[in-house]
Structure 1
Amino acid sequence: MKIAELITWFESWANPAWCESWDNCGWQIEPGILEDEAKVLVCLTPTLAVMEEAIALHANLIFAHHPLIFNPPKSLCRGEAIADMVRLAFTHNIGVYTAHTNFDQVEDGTADVLAQILQLKDVTPIVPTQNGLGYGRVGLLEPFLTLQELLTVIQKRLSPPDLIFSPNANLQQVISKVAVLGGSGASFISAVVKTGAQAYLTSDCKFHQFQESRDLGLILIDAGHYATERPACDRLVEKFRSLNIDLVQLSNHDEDFRQFFQSGN
């Protein structure tokens, strides 16, 4: 399958026109590779380490969730990450394509994959956008779990380096309805409360957002940005492999960008 055909297939599923006005979906770098046979490296975040991995694999497309470029750069200078990515991309004929807020909304996108990992039933978007799609997912646990059991499931299935949850939460509280949103989802707290969910799994929550959730009677669970979005990259790999592309691989050099100190190590 040619790269142009792959992108057409993807955009028929997750239209880049759906991305938010502040976002940057679609081609980040296209060095003239549209008619080449696709050899794809999928990652969460495009970095120099991922670019070097693509070069070593002889891949010609980095397909990322996070945009390489959010805002137009004022200059491109050697030694700067974006500039070096652009230089290497054109030198080695490697494109960089991003699916961000458009991929968040769709079936089998970031939120939907999280809901599937937790095996939620009767799933609907937290905030509907169009045609049954939308941001986040909320659904039922069957069977119900205690909060402690739910946290154990999240730890086991997502393997976050750190798992934070609301203060004063009763670990023996029975949880029947859960909301999920991969990545930074604290701005959706009020919308989650309206769904009747008892617990909300997301990431990048600040101190006072835990306070807000507690005051609203919602158990906020922060598993980290990487842990809540990386599983959707696995799903992309599965979908691309079903298209019989010559090379599709999940990056081994994706980074969490955070480390947690463990005393005694």
Structure 2
Amino acid sequence: MMKITDLINWFEIWANPTWQENWDNCGWQIEPGVLDEPARVLICLTPTLAVMQEAILLRDNGIPVNLIFAHHPLIFSPLKSLQTGNPIAEMVRLAYTHKIGVYTAHTNFDQVNDGTADVLAQLLQLKQVTPITPTQDGLGYGRVGYLEPSLTLQELLTQIQTQLSPPDLIFSPTEDLQQPIDKVAVLGGSGASFISAVVKTGAQAYLTSDCKFHQFQEARDRNLILIDAGHYATERPACDRLVQKFRDLGVEWVQLSQKDEDFRLFYGV
């Protein structure tokens, strides 16, 4: 039976939190004295009150969840106060009341094999995959690889829609949906700042999210087809992959949260 401390030790050897960017906050967000307990884990993209309530409901129904393992940090900026009604304060109160820890793997999880970008590359069946921006030992941010055989742009968009089920799929305007695409870059979450790096790889299309109006203009001007499938849709698959990894390790109970939120609704969809 794997303890929480053993699970976290394994994870941090695989995706070391010291790899995080200096603006990031990976690792323990709340540790209410659960390290020596058998790991029972709820995995989510974003640690919200809805996910905490889900964990508490599972406890009430006989499944003693004691760890919320999230991709996005709960705490980004230094806290100046904790007051009743503040979402982070409520998360802290509930975490200690119910002994449910909150742990985050963010930019360290983005870089590793089977992390956020690598899972996207696998879903699109990209071959000869390398990082868009290498960091160390073959790891790095984003992935770029080849479609074998190549697809038309329309077929690629259909495959993205099928694999990720985004509520909205935005892409650069093009006169030819039948143009062949054989080299594709991917990066889960907010990846528009990597456009210049993607252009240097020679990729024809770039799947990411959170792209602004003028970033689509920039991509068009640099002959790159920008495809925005949304933050949630491009990162949630890696959370699902993490569930399987933890099960393979022998974690007694692990499940993907059903209360993860996209935070966006599209009228008429």
TM-score scaled to structure 2, two decimals?
A: 0.97
Count residues in correspondence: 263
Question: Structure 1 residue aligned with 2:67, among 45, 61, 76?
Answer: 61
Q: Which amino acid aligns with 2:260?
A: D
Q: Paired residue for 1:91?
A: 97
Question: Contact 1:25/1:102 (CA < 8 Å) preserved in 2?
Answer: yes
Q: Which residue of 2 aligns with 1:27?
A: 28
Question: What are the superposed Cα offsets for residues 72-131 of structure 1, whole Å, 9 maximum, x if unpaired?
Answer: 111111111100000000000000000000000000000000000000000000000000
1:137 corresponding residue in structure 2: 143
Which portions of structure 1, spanning 4 or more consecutive aligned residues, are displaced by more than 4 angstroms? Answer: none
> Is 2:169 the partner of 1:163?
yes
- Residues 228-248 of structure 1, C-alpha deviations (whole Å, 9 max, x = no match): 000000000000011121110
**Partner Cα separation in structure 2 for residue 239 and residue 92 of structure 1:** 26
- Which residue is equivalent to 1:8? 9
What is the alpha-carbon distance in structure 2 between the residues aligned to residue 200 and residue 98 of structure 1? 27
* Equivalent of 2:212 in 206, 212, 215: 206
Distance (Å, rounded) in 1 between the aligned partners of 2:209 and 2:31: 31
Q: Is the aligned partner of 1:219 residue 2:220? A: no
Q: Which runs of 5+ in 2 are unaligned?
A: 60-64
Aligned-partner SS, 2:249: coil
Alpha-carbon RMSD: 0.7
* Residue 100 in structure 1 maps to residue 106 in structure 2: yes
Q: Is the 8 A contact 1:169 1:219 kept in 2?
A: no
Q: In 2, are the aligned partners of 1:3 and 1:35 still within 8 Å (CA)? A: yes
Instruction: Work out the percentage of aligned pairs sharing the same amino acid.
Output: 79
Partner of 2:193: 187
Which blocks of at least 5 consecutive residues in structure 1 are unaligned? none
Q: Which whole-Å CA distance do the structure 1 matches of 2:158 and 2:90 have between them?
A: 41
Q: In 2, Cα distance between the equivalents of 1:24 and 1:258?
A: 24
CA displacement at 1:173 relative to structure 2: 0.9
1:19-49 per-position Cα deviation (integer Å, ceiling 9, x unaligned): 0000000000001110111100000000001
Find the counterpart in structure 1 of residue 38 from structure 2.
37
* Deviation string, structure 1 residues 199-232 (Cα, Å, up to 9, x no partner): 0000000000000000000000000000000000
Displacement of 1:170 after TM fit?
Answer: 2.1
Normalised by the length of structure 1, the TM-score is 0.98
